[in-house]
Amino acid sequence: MVCKIEMCDCNVIHQEIVEAVKEQIPEDNRISVIAEFYKIFSDSTKLKILWALDISEMCVCDLAVLVNVTKSAISHQLKILKEANLVKFRKEGKNVYYSLSDNCVKEIIEKGVIHTLNKM
Amino acid sequence: MVCKIEMCDCNVIHQEIVEAVKEQIPEDNRISVIAEFYKIFSDSTKLKILWALDISEMCVCDLAVLVNVTKSAISHQLKILKEANLVKFRKEGKNVYYSLSDNCVKEIIEKGVIHTLNKM
DNA sequence: ATTATAGTTGAATGCGTATTCAATTGTCAA
DNA sequence: TTGACAATTGAATACGCATTCAACTATAAT
């Protein structure tokens, strides 16, 4: 029972299982969107920014000092966090103050934290 | 009040806030471990493998067909998932059958799924 | 107006990693 | 023991992305 998908380099061992799983699994678009979302938390800098903002509103300069990278780096990452609707900001004079757009961020990373910190 | 950290390219605007956040935020090691953990879910292939294994035990060949990549690619990714203690396996003849090591994986990604799928 | 500082932006760089290919191991069947 | 196939492994490749640098905008103070 040879694989019907051309680029595959192997036979299907259990056709029925593959078919069944294919029906139940989310489509590729959705998988990608979810992966995309988790990509944000997979970067130490972004994670640190989010964690910091969960503690206190902060400006770009403060975040740069805290994370120990350039303001530019922080600004680039904040842009990504903005696009993901995870942070919001308010301008005050020369400063721009960032904060979490909603407080579910901590909840989201909670599961992962529990899972990882148990092993340290 | 100039920044005391050498590699920083800016002044500290709010010294007190930075100090306070520095005390409350987890240390870099921990942040990195958490980020490392989420890195697993940030890859479509790994996510699809985990999701599939949550539905049914599968062998490498089946997974390759399902995900539409080479057996080699699957094997490499499974190695990473093994090292993260997310999957376990049993050998039967020429085949190696993989399954989730515990069923909290679905729970872990649940939060992210809710957060992302609401916007599709 | 001029200077200084906060923040943003785009280009360039470098690193991490997912994938493929080729070679190898292990197991079963003939 | 030989051939076929599942799975693993290491090397090579290619791509994505985080960071820095440099240039620019914007705002405030003198």
Per-residue pLDDT of chain B (120 residues; tens, 9 = 90+): 343 444 456 777 899 999 999 999 999 999 999 899 899 999 999 999 999 999 999 999 999 999 999 999 999 999 999 999 999 999 999 999 999 987 667 776 665 555 555 544
The stretches in chain A having pLDDT less than 50 are 1-7, 119-120
- Evaluate if the CB of B111 falls below 7 Å from strand C: no
How far is the C-alpha of B115 from the C-alpha of B120, rounded, in Å?
10
Residue of B nearest to A19 (CA): B66
Q: Which residues get their CB within 7 angstroms of nucleic chain D? A: A 10-11, 13, 39, 43-45, 69-70, 72-73, 76-77, 80, 91, 93-94; B 7, 9, 59-61, 71-72, 74-76, 78-79, 89, 94-97
> 3-class SS at A17?
helix
Mark the nucleotides of strand C covered by protein, meaning any atom under 7 Å from a CB: 5-11, 17-23, 26-28
| A29 token code pair | 């678009």
8 Å CB contact of B13 and A48: no
Q: What is the nearest nucleotide to A71, using C1' and CA?
A: C7
Q: Is the dihedral of CA A51, B80, B69, A24 positive or negative?
A: negative
Say how far A17 CA is from D3 C1', in Å: 28
**B87-92 β-sheet, strand order:** B58-59, B95-100, B87-92
- Evaluate if the CB of A21 falls below 7 Å from strand C: no
- Give this prediction's pTM: 0.87
